[in-house]
Structure 1
Amino acid sequence: MADQITQLLNQIEPIAEPILTQLRPLTKTLLPEQIVNLGRDYYSRDVFDKVIVQLDLFEPENAPLVQQFISKTLSLGILSMSSIVKLPQILNILSNSSAQGLSFPSILMDTLSYLITIAYNFRQHMPFTNFGEVVFSALQNVVILALILYYTNRAGYINAFIGLCALVTYFFLGSPSPSNIGVLSDKDVNFLAQFAAPLTILAKLPQIIGNFKRKSTGTLSLTSIGAGLLGTIVRVFTVLSSGFNDRLILLGYGASVVLNLILFLQIIAFKKKKVSSEKKNK
């Protein structure tokens, strides 16, 4: 990966270097101390000083530092975006007062897959920036599931459902000890992690098959699915760049990329078909 970064930097050096030469005196003297300290804490002193303070991007030995900077910046971007990635889907449901086209079992399995992924990363002591988007996506999924219950005349089950979610989360993330009844051990979580990717596939398949049968994606949000697709593609890059080349984690993200791409294409195809039908009826 560092070799590709070096090649890219060599291509842009003739254009960027004159600009950076003018900026270097400013970054070395005008950056607020608080920003510098935060940057060093997040990126590490070497990465932040070389890439941001000194703007020293084009020395071959700095390619790994530039790669780390890109990876951590993308991770931060994914984390920020993930906090609202499913908000368009939630607003879509609320504005239509309908959860038509959304599969409760699919989203429920998707949420369980998220929870396994969160627990696995948590138990492996991964940085939160490496899996934080899964946490935000899981929380938003719970909101979507509650809305599906509400708009399908099953509002009476919402409290029990949220309570069950809290209980299962405790079993996965609680501190394993003999006194904590029901809390899964690290070995149990590692075993379940093998099923995260298959669960992701099973979660999306009913939604995908249902879309094909109905020739419609209902209230499925193009923005949310598109953002999820982009986020998983970028996450594959950041995981590879971080050095945590964990097969289970990469398999899960790889499956998400493929399935989100199918859903994204379905929304485009079936919305076009719907628009064409409406014009024909007129």
Structure 2
Amino acid sequence: MAPSLFKSICLLVMTEYCYNEFFINFNFLHVDCLKALISKGLGYGIILGSIFVKVPQILKILNAKSAEGISLTGTSLEVFAILSNVAYSFVNRYPFSAYGDGFFLLLQTALVGFFVLLYGGKTQEALLYFATVLGFLGVLCSGFVPMTILWTLQASIIPVIVTAKTIQAWTNYTNGNTGQLSVVTFTLLFFGSLARIFTSIQETGDIIIIATYSVGSFVNFIVLSQILYYWNVPTKIKGKKKLLEKKTK
């Protein structure tokens, strides 16, 4: 590999200063540069993973042709939270590695909301829902919205996330199962939020964003715990129904 090409690739995940420290001065134990490199690597890894985070959830809905157990209110609040974070980070010109996963998560979460409405027999509302999310994304990222409003939206994410996941957790509890919620999706969301705490500290230093991911990790853990707890509940219920049917015959 040509030295110039190698350097160009390295500069995608590190600064010129860190490149010189690593490959000119051979100081591979430079603490700040190591932290920055790990953060960048994690950030891009999270972005790559985010492309598939909710695919298991979407496929589970499509295979079942049902969005049973998924709260549209909770999903919509999650859309609002992700949308606000992406717009705030984009307009602040934070590195894409610090928030890029939000863009892919936004599209996938909006699709989940779309399918909740679609399988609920509301096709027009489903199309309008997805189009509205894209419209708001364009407006908030346009640069015409004052930063004070974007900051307020970002600051409001914490109570929104708590409310959204609380609604979903309550839905799970009252149903006695987690319906079509995907354990793979929530596992990735939980660990992704944990990793984002570190990358946010390193790349933005924004206390609001750091707090947001901290709270997100906690509430994602709660829903993930419910999925694991209720893992075999639907199967057991189906089994009981079959036994009752046999007895009545």
**TM-score (structure 1 length as normaliser):** 0.79
CA separation of 1:153/1:53 partners in 2, compared to 1, >3 Å: closer, same or farther? farther
User: Displacement, 1:66?
Assistant: 1.2
How many matched pairs? 242
**What does residue range 57-206 of structure 1 map to in structure 2 within 5 Å?**
57-58=28-29, 62-176=30-144, 184-206=145-167
In the aligned structure 1, how far is the partner of 2:2 from the partner of 2:45? 21
Match of residue 234 from structure 1? 195
Q: Secondary structure at the match of 1:42?
A: coil
Distance 1:34 1:221, change over 3 A: same
Offset of residue 65 of structure 1: 1.2
Q: In structure 1, what is the equivalent of residue 246 of structure 2?
A: none
* 2:231 corresponds to 1:268: no
Q: 1:43 aligns to what?
A: 14
Identify unmatched segments of 5+ residues in structure 2: 244-249
Contact 1:225 1:264 in 2 (8 A): yes
Deviates more, 1:136-145 or 1:269-278: 269-278
Q: Which of the numbers 240, 246, 255 marks the counterpart of 2:206?
A: 246
Say whether the 8 Å CA contact 1:149–1:158 is kept in structure 2. yes
Residue segments in structure 1 that go unaligned for 5+ positions in a row? 1-29, 177-183
Matched residue SS, 2:53? coil
Q: Deviations over 1:57-103 (max 9, x none)?
A: 34xxx121111111111111011101111111011111111111111
CA distance in 2 between counterparts of 1:162 and 1:121 reads 22
TM-score, normalising length from structure 2?
A: 0.88
CA–CA distance in structure 2, aligned partners of residues 276 and 48 of structure 1 = 58
Quick one: which amino acid aligns to residue 224 of structure 1?
T
Structure with the greater alpha carbon radius of gyration? 1
Partner of 2:174: 213
Which string of whole-angstrom CA distances, capped at 9 and with x for unpartnered residues, describes residues 165-220 of structure 1?
A: 233223311231xxxxxxx2122112222201111111111100111111200010
1:51–1:69 contact (8 Å) kept in structure 2: no
Deviation of 1:245 after TM superposition, in Å, equals 2.3
Comparing 37-46 and 113-122, the one that deviates more: 37-46
Q: Distance in 2 between matches of 1:114 and 1:160?
A: 19
CA distance in 2, matches of 1:74, 1:229: 14
Letter in 1 for 2:230: F
Q: 1:277 to 1:97 in 2, by over 3 A?
A: closer
Q: Cα offset for 1:141?
A: 0.8
Q: Give % identity.
A: 22
Q: What's the offset of the Cα at 1:149? A: 1.2
How far the C-alpha of 1:41 sits from its partner, in A, is 3.5
Q: Distance in 2 between matches of 1:273 and 1:165?
A: 34
Equivalent-residue separation in structure 2 for 1:188 and 1:274 (angstroms): 44
Deviation of 1:35 (Å): 3.8
Given that residues 48 and 69 in structure 1 are in contact (C-alpha distance below 8 angstroms), is that contact kept between their aligned partners in structure 2? no
The root-mean-square deviation of aligned C-alpha atoms, in Å, is 2.3
